[in-house]
């Protein structure tokens, strides 16, 4: 039947999170303070105390 085909569009992509120098430095300080062996994404995030940052952002950056 006509009109049954719904046009599907992809959901808009979220903007990629950008690690600017001050934030990257804070990330490094967090790992240094926590210790590499104890540095989990959750602990790093808690230490950094950045409201726009998520565990997923930190975990991804930790793998780089």
Residue 1 pLDDT more than 60? no
Count of the separate structural domains present in the chain? 1
The helix/strand/coil state of 63 is: helix
Confidence of residue 4 (pLDDT cuts 50, 70, 90): low
pLDDT for the residue numbered 2: 58
Q: Report yes or no on 12 lying in a domain.
A: no
Q: Is residue 47 part of a domain?
A: yes
27: burial class by Cβ within 10 Å (0-12, 13-18, 19+)?
Answer: buried
Residue 50 inside a domain? The answer is: yes
Residue 2 lies in a domain: no
- Answer whether residue 7 is part of any domain: no
Rounded to whole angstroms, the maximal C-alpha distance in the chain is: 65
- Indicate whether 33 belongs to any domain: yes
pLDDT of 5 = 58
- In tens, the pLDDT along 12-52 reads 887 888 999 999 999 999 999 999 999 999 999 999 999 99
- 28 inside domain: yes
The structure's pTM equals 0.76
Give the whole-angstrom CA distance, residue 18 versus residue 52: 11
Domain that holds residue 47: 21-63
């Amino acid at each position: 039947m006509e009109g049954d085909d719904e046009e599907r569009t992809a959901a808009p992509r979220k903007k990629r999170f950008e690690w600017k120098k001050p934030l990257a430095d804070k990330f490094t300080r967090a790992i240094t303070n926590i210790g590499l062996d104890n540095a989990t994404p959750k602990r790093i995030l808690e230490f950094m105390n950045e409201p726009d940052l998520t565990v997923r952002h930190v975990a991804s950056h930790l793998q780089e």
